[in-house]
Structures are given as structure tokens and as C-alpha cells.
């Protein structure tokens, strides 16, 4: 339906959002809305975690693909904006694990203890 | 006959010292065939969170396997009140139907330099995720007050708490994790331990079609380099890798992870994978962080977010 609705994130989830499940919960409400344009109002939300932001990004893309709904984020503070942007920026980053690192193996306690005490 | 284990008088300030004291005790408890284990705290005076968190976790593990673990820590007046206040070894946590009393209990720690040992529940249903959400929020706020942190200083701490507890929830298969922290104002650092008695990192890659580590060491290498144990295309598994990079390269802290008999240690000076003797195996995953509380002006939290 071509209409716009607003979800107040702080009222729904609280001031700090730490988990992936919180994003899924939020997008459950978004998906249930009959409107195509959803405003997510982050007024009074102080903090989102990287996990929340990562899940938010994935959920947002899925929503656009599966339900053709668009999301507008409003009243997000600088930290929330920075977190969302940082996570979005690095979504396709390829990781090269350092496979050249040696594994040091200890079979006796004495040398291992010396090693640990040197840290 | 019971296995008797003498708890050391103290763990020293050096990062590896408390770990070196923890290892042989974990090994003794996990490998003993005795049905009863006695932990002798008579000499104990000062014990670090890495040591106490690990001991609490291994006591819980052994009890879950039917061992009778006895401890005489209440008979030692030098340390018993501290151990009681931190809820050693049973830990505290929200009980269903009485969640509010747990959160009220946390308020009593506002003026302390430590938080109690907290057993946080895992589970992705709405009840468990909302409880974890509230707990992380409360712990983060509590530590912020204790450390007198500004928002900029709180960010990395909240990040470590979030990412590492999420790892326990998402990958360990454990029904709970343990979280414990102590601030050392004279030395300007916070020691934080997060551990679980779950399946460990190697087993958490089982069934993963994207990453198939050949052994425990390779599994840990994958984990510390950001290869997710989750078999989902969108999953990134950056929790451990970004946490250690932020802690060591950004804050100049120290990082230790131990799963099975394999560990990874990172400081400014070193980055080592270390395999312990076969009898020194941690059932699950144990992570210790030494977090400096004086943060350089040049530190930018977002440089480490991926």
C-alpha cells in the first residue's frame, strides 16, 4: 500500500539495542505494516551495537527485496549513524586469514609456564 | 578419595600469571577420575578475575558432569566476603519471574570497582534475547559509572561485551555464559573475562559448508581472523577478530582466548597461537581481556568496525 507509517524504535525496543534479535523483532513490525514506506524513528535511542547494525543492514536489504518496502531512518544520533554507515561500508569486505602464523606447541608444563609468565 | 587442589595465595598483575595458575587447575579438574574434588582456599588472598572466572566455569562444568566439588573459601576471612559479593562460584543472573530483583541487585555495585560474576542466559527466543538486551545495557551502564567513562570511552567496552556475549549465544551451544570484570584504578585497566562450557570453537564449525577447518588450531585461526562459524551467507563472524584488533591495536590492551587445548594470545609485542599439553584442555571457550582505561586521543572506534 502506498502510504507511510512511523515506528518509534525507543518505545518498541528501548534506549540501547545490543542484539541481532532486536533488529529481527523490529523488522517483524515493519513487515507486518501494510505501508510500503516505513519511517524508523530513532529518537531517544542512545546506542546500537555492531551486531544490531549488521543485522539491521541485512534485514533492510531483505525487506526491500522480498516486500518492496523502503526504510527511512530518522532522528538517529551521530553514533548510530556512524555505526550503521561503518557496517554498511564493509559488508563485502574479503578477509584473508593469516595462515602463515606458526602454532607453538608445548608438551611440558615448565616451558609453557615460562612462556605464560612472559606475557 | 577426593582430589585436593590448593588455590594459590595470589595471582600477580602480569597478564599471563593468573592464566598460568588457572591452566593446571582446569587440567586437574577435567582429567581427574575422582568423583570428589576439594578446592583449598586457605592460603588465598588476592585472585584475579581471569583466574576466578575460569575456576567458576570449570566448577560448573564438573558439577554438570556429576562431580562433587567442595570449596572451603568461606573459611578464609581474607577473601570470603569478596568472593561472596561477586557470587563465586555460583554466579548471579536473572531468574525467570524474578528478573527485576537481579537488576536491582546490580545497583548495589555502582560504587564498587567490580561487577559480580554474572551467568547470562543464551537463547534467541524473545524472552532470552530481551533479558540479554537488558543485562548488557545494565552492565555497560554500571561499568561506565564505575570507570567514570565518557561516551567515547564507553564505546569499545560496550563493543567487547556485545560481541563476545553474542559469540557465546550464537556459537557455543551452551545454555549460559559467564561474565566477570574487575577494575584496577591504580593500574588503569579493567580485566574482563567471558567464558562458556559449550562445544568450543572447532566444533562450532561443524556442518559449516563455507569454512571447514582441519583441526582445532585452524578453527581458532579462522575465528580470530573473522571467518564466521555461522553457515549463513550474510554472517561475517567479525566479533572476535574486530574485538582483538580494537583492543590490541587501538587501545594497546591484551587478548587471550582458549578453546580445547589451543589458545591465541595477542599483545602489542606478540601474536601467538599456542597449543597446550593434551591434559590442559578448556571445555568450551575462555576469553580474557585486559582493557586499558586511559584511551589515546587518537583512538577512533569506527576505524575498527567492520
CATH number at A111 reads 3.30.750
Task: Please give, rounded to a whole number of angstroms, the shortest distance from the CA of A63 to a CA of chain B.
Answer: 14
* Residue A59 contacts residue A27 (beta carbons within 8 Å): yes
Interface test with A, best of B129, B227, B237 (most A CBs within 10 A): B129
Structurally, how many domains does chain A consist of?
A: 1
Q: Which among B133, B170, B227 is the nearest to A14, CB-wise?
A: B133
Query: Residue B237 — pLDDT band, cuts 50, 70, 90?
Result: low
C-alpha cell at B231: 553457515
- The answer to the question of residue B35 being in a domain is no
User: Which of B30, B37, B55 is closest to B279 using CA atoms?
Assistant: B30
Complex confidence, ipTM: 0.89
Q: What is the pLDDT of residues A74-107, one digit of tens each?
A: 999 989 999 998 888 877 655 555 556 778 899 8
Answer whether B213 touches A (CB < 8 Å). no
Angle between helices B99-107 and B126-147 (to 10 degrees): 10
In this prediction, what percent of chain B has a pLDDT beyond 90?
A: 85
Q: What is the pLDDT of residues B100-142, one digit of tens each?
A: 999 999 999 999 999 999 999 999 898 999 899 999 999 999 9
Encode A10-36: b = buried (16+ Cβ within 10 Å), e = exposed: beebbebbbbbbbbbbbbeebeebeee
Query: For the CA atoms of chain A, what is the radius of gyration?
Result: 21
Interface test with B, best of A25, A50, A66, A98 (most B CBs within 10 A): A50
Interface test with B, best of A53, A62, A116, A117 (most B CBs within 10 A): A116
Instruction: Domain of residue B120: give its range.
Output: 87-304
Q: What is the pLDDT of residues B53-107, one digit of tens each?
A: 999 999 999 999 999 999 999 999 999 999 999 999 999 999 999 999 999 999 9
- The answer to the question of residue B158 being in a domain is yes
pTM equals: 0.90
* Residue B273 contacts residue B220 (beta carbons within 8 Å): yes
Task: Please give, rounded to a whole number of angstroms, the shortest distance from the CA of B11 to a CA of chain A.
Answer: 11
Cβ contact B306–A117 (<8 Å): no
Answer whether A78 touches B (CB < 8 Å). no
Task: List all residues 6 or more positions away from B33 whose beta carbon is below 8 Å from its beta carbon.
Answer: none
Query: Residue B234 — pLDDT band, cuts 50, 70, 90?
Result: very low
Answer whether A101 touches B (CB < 8 Å). yes
Task: Please give, rounded to a whole number of angstroms, the shortest distance from the CA of B197 to a CA of chain A.
Answer: 21
- The answer to the question of residue B189 being in a domain is yes
- The answer to the question of residue B20 being in a domain is no
Cβ contact B305–A16 (<8 Å): no
**Considering only alpha carbons, which residue of chain A is nearest residue B276?**
A106
- Chain-wide mean pLDDT for chain A? 87
Looking at residue A100, its pLDDT comes to: 64
| CATH label of the domain that carries residue B278 | 3.30.565.10
Instruction: Domain of residue A46: give its range.
Output: 4-117
Answer whether B104 touches A (CB < 8 Å). no
Structurally, how many domains does chain B consist of?
A: 1
Answer whether B166 touches A (CB < 8 Å). yes
Looking at residue A48, its pLDDT comes to: 94
Show residues of chain B in contact with A83, CB under 8 Å: 302, 305
Q: What is the rounded distance in angstroms from the CA atom of residue B8 to the CA atom of residue B17?
A: 11
Task: Please give, rounded to a whole number of angstroms, the shortest distance from the CA of B300 to a CA of chain A.
Answer: 11
Q: What is the pLDDT of residues B168-207, one digit of tens each?
A: 998 899 999 999 999 999 999 999 999 999 999 999 998 7
CA B64 to chain centre: 19
C-alpha cell at B54: 575460569
Query: Residue B289 — pLDDT band, cuts 50, 70, 90?
Result: very high
Amino acid at each position: 500500500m502506498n502510504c507511510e507509517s512511523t515506528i518509534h524504535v525507543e518505545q518498541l525496543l528501548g534506549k540501547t539495542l545490543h542484539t541481532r534479535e532486536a533488529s529481527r523483532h523490529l523488522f517483524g513490525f515493519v513487515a507486518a505494516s501494510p505501508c510500503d514506506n516505513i519511517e524508523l524513528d530513532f529518537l531517544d535511542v542512545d546506542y546500537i551495537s555492531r551486531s544490531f547494525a549488521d543485522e539491521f543492514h541485512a534485514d533492510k536489504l531483505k525487506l526491500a527485496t522480498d516486500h518492496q518496502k523502503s526504510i527511512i531512518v530518522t532522528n538517529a544520533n551521530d553514533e548510530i549513524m556512524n555505526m550503521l554507515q561503518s557496517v554498511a561500508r564493509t559488508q563485502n569486505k574479503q578477509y584473508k586469514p593469516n595462515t602463515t602464523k606458526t602454532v607453538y606447541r608445548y608438551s611440558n608444563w615448565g616451558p609453557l609456564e615460562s612462556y605464560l609468565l612472559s606475557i | 578419595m577426593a582430589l585436593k587442589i590448593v588455590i594459590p595465595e595470589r595471582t600477580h598483575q602480569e597478564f599471563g600469571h593468573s592464566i598460568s595458575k588457572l591452566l593446571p587447575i582446569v587440567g586437574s579438574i577435567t582429567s581427574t577420575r575422582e568423583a570428589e574434588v576439594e578446592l583449598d582456599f586457605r592460603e588465598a588472598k588476592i585472585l584475579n578475575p581471569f583466574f576466578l572466572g575460569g575456576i567458576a566455569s570449570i566448577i560448573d562444568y564438573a558439577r554438570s558432569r556429576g562431580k562433587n566439588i567442595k570449596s572451603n573459601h568461606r573459611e578464609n576471612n581474607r577473601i570470603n566476603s569478596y568472593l561472596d559479593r561477586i557470587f563465586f562460584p555460583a554466579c548471579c543472573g536473572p531468574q525467570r519471574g524474578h528478573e527485576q530483583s537481579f537488576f536491582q541487585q546490580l545497583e548495589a555495585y555502582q560504587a564498587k570497582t567490580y561487577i559480580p560474576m554474572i551467568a547470562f542466559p543464551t537463547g534467541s527466543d524473545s524472552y532470552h534475547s530481551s533479558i540479554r538486551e537488558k543485562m548488557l545495557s545494565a552492565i555497560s551502564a554500571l561499568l561506565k559509572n564505575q570507570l567514570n567513562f565518557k561516551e567515547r570511552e564507553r564505546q569499545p567496552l560496550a563493543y567487547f561485551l556485545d560481541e563476545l556475549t553474542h559469540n557465546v549465544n550464537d556459537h557455543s551451544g551452551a545454555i549460559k555464559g559467564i561474565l566477570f570484570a574487575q577494575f584496577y584504578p591504580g593500574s588503569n585497566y579493567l580485566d574482563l573475562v567471558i567464558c562458556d562450557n559449550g562445544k568450543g570453537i572447532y566444533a562450532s564449525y561443524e556442518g559449516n559448508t563455507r569454512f571447514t577447518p582441519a583441526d582445532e588450531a585452524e578453527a581458532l585461526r579462522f575465528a580470530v581472523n573473522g571467518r564466521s562459524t555461522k553457515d549463513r551467507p550474510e554472517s561475517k563472524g567479525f566479533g572476535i577478530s574486530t574485538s582483538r584488533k580494537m583492543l590490541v591495536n587501538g587501545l594497546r590492551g591484551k587478548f587471550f582466548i582458549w578453546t580445547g587445548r589451543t589458545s591465541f594470545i595477542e599483545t602489542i609485542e606478540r601474536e601467538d597461537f599456542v597449543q597446550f599439553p593434551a591434559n590442559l584442555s578448556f571445555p568450551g571457550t575462555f576469553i580474557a581481556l585486559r582493557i586499558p582505561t586511559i584511551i589515546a586521543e587518537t583512538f577512533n572506534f569506527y576505524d575498527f568496525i567492520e
